[in-house]
Structure 1
Amino acid sequence: MGLCGERQEPVDAAAWIDAALPRLMGAALSLAGHRQDAEDLLQETLAKVILKWSSVNHADSPDAYVRRAMVNTFISGKRRKSSTEVVSHDVVTAEWRGRGQGGEGHDTDLAARDHMWQLLATLPPRQRAVLVLRYYDDLPDAQIAEVLGCSAVSVRVAAHRAMGTLREALAPVPSEPAVEVAAKRA
């Protein structure tokens, strides 16, 4: 629905896609983690959506319909894919470099971002989708639940587990306590 609860006017598929393409590509990149995979995900999603454009056009929100289709395509594609390849988020890194953000700590920031994208790529597809929808699309849990076809509680559980996995992966390796070191020397 549009603002004030009104149903949006029907939109031409090509015009809607032209307007939404940058936003959709950003979401696809966040989900897929690699430009080639993101382009494939977006292409597959748009191919499905165009075939059902009359349904999309009559939905309360074409954005929500397409977002759900993209997330479902991503999750089902990850189920089929047997590869465990972990890739860096090369497009985001290249874009960040292109912004002229040089200076002290710049390379450290890039390395940290790249490492975070690598860690995000290791999450199960559903957990990754929850984090992308929450932090990239800035959706509340209720809308994420609607996109994923689950409850808001399931969204919070998936986000909690994903964040726990990321925190664990980022935690420094504890060094040996001084008592154990002293005992080894004796």
Structure 2
Amino acid sequence: MRVFSRGATAPESAARYVEGALPRLMGAALSLTGNRHDAEDLVQDTLAKVIVHWRRVESADSVDAYVRRAMVNTFISGKRRRASREVVSHDLVTADGLARVQPDSGDALADRDQVWTLLSRLTRHQRAVLVLRYYDDLPDSAIAEALDCSVVSVRVTAHRAMAAMRAMSSPLEDSDACPEPTGVAVTTPR
């Protein structure tokens, strides 16, 4: 892998790190982007930045935290936005990489689709907070460090994102309810 302008190769420690971290990075990127192609682009962009500055990255307290922050910042900045809208994918991350979900997954697939739909409607910052909290299972302090903000900001953003998802899901859930009879006005107490 040649990434340096003078033809030097990336350090062996960088190659070992990438090899071990790739499934984990793809999983986080897939959770952030919602589809495999954008996730691959996000990981590639992130690793390109990280490898170029590998000496600095490797001297950080936590290489994983450094790379995670770089990936989240790259995602939030959104410099490489696709011309088309995001498409919900049924890719799942496994220990060996990506695997397709079987179409007969029924309710689980419908629930996952609803979550992806709701996540895709959030801001990039809100989605990053939720992915780091629930997918990467990070404490608020680590999320704050990755996003370069305060712990309070992380909590407020998570609260607002969850409230927005609940508000957006109400119309989706109501659409499954029995239709109102035509010609009859239905009032609800306030």
Asked if Structure 1 and Structure 2 have the same fold, meaning a TM-score greater than 0.5 normalized by the shorter chain, the answer is yes
Kept in 1: contact 2:69–2:147 (CA 8 A)? yes
TM-score, L = length of structure 1: 0.79
Kept in 2: contact 1:89–1:118 (CA 8 A)? no
Deviations along 1:120-158, whole A, 9 cap, x unmatched?
111100000000000011000011000000000000111
User: How many angstroms apart in 2 are the aligned matches of 1:182 and 1:58?
Assistant: 65
Kept in 2: contact 1:33–1:89 (CA 8 A)? yes
Higher normalized strand content (fraction of residues): 2
- Counterpart amino acid of residue 36 in structure 2: R
User: How many angstroms apart in 2 are the aligned matches of 1:182 and 1:23?
Assistant: 50
2:87 paired with 1:107: no
| Deviating more after overlay: 166-175 vs 106-115 | 166-175
Number of residue-to-residue matches in the alignment: 164
Question: The residue matched to 1:181 in structure 2 has which SS?
Answer: coil
Structure 2 residue aligned with 1:5: none
- Counterpart amino acid of residue 97 in structure 1: Q
Q: C-alpha displacement at 1:65, in angstroms?
A: 0.2
Question: Measured at CA, do residues 67 and 37 of structure 1 come closer, stay the same or move farther in structure 2, by a change above 3 Å?
Answer: same
- Counterpart amino acid of residue 52 in structure 2: L
Question: Measured at CA, do residues 11 and 41 of structure 1 come closer, stay the same or move farther in structure 2, by a change above 3 Å?
Answer: same
Structure 1 residue aligned with 2:116: 117
Kept in 1: contact 2:35–2:86 (CA 8 A)? no
Structure 2 residue aligned with 1:6: none
Kept in 1: contact 2:86–2:120 (CA 8 A)? yes
| Deviating more after overlay: 41-50 vs 112-121 | 112-121
Kept in 2: contact 1:33–1:121 (CA 8 A)? yes
TM-score, L = length of structure 2: 0.78
Deviations along 1:160-181, whole A, 9 cap, x unmatched?
11101111111133987xxx82
Q: C-alpha displacement at 1:87, in angstroms?
A: 1.7
Kept in 2: contact 1:86–1:118 (CA 8 A)? no
Question: The residue matched to 1:92 in structure 2 has which SS?
Answer: strand
Higher normalized helix content (fraction of residues): 1
User: How many angstroms apart in 2 are the aligned matches of 1:140 and 1:84?
Assistant: 34
- Counterpart amino acid of residue 76 in structure 1: S
Question: Measured at CA, do residues 83 and 167 of structure 1 come closer, stay the same or move farther in structure 2, by a change above 3 Å?
Answer: farther
| Correspondence 1:75-154 to 2 at 5 A | 75-77=76-78, 81=81, 85-92=85-92, 95-97=100-102, 106-154=105-153
Kept in 2: contact 1:130–1:144 (CA 8 A)? yes
Kept in 1: contact 2:32–2:131 (CA 8 A)? yes
- Counterpart amino acid of residue 144 in structure 1: I
Name stretches of at least 5 consecutive residues in structure 2 with no aligned partner. 1-10, 94-98
Q: C-alpha displacement at 1:182, in angstroms?
A: 6.8
Q: C-alpha displacement at 1:84, in angstroms?
A: 7.0
Question: The residue matched to 1:70 in structure 2 has which SS?
Answer: helix
RMSD: 2.6
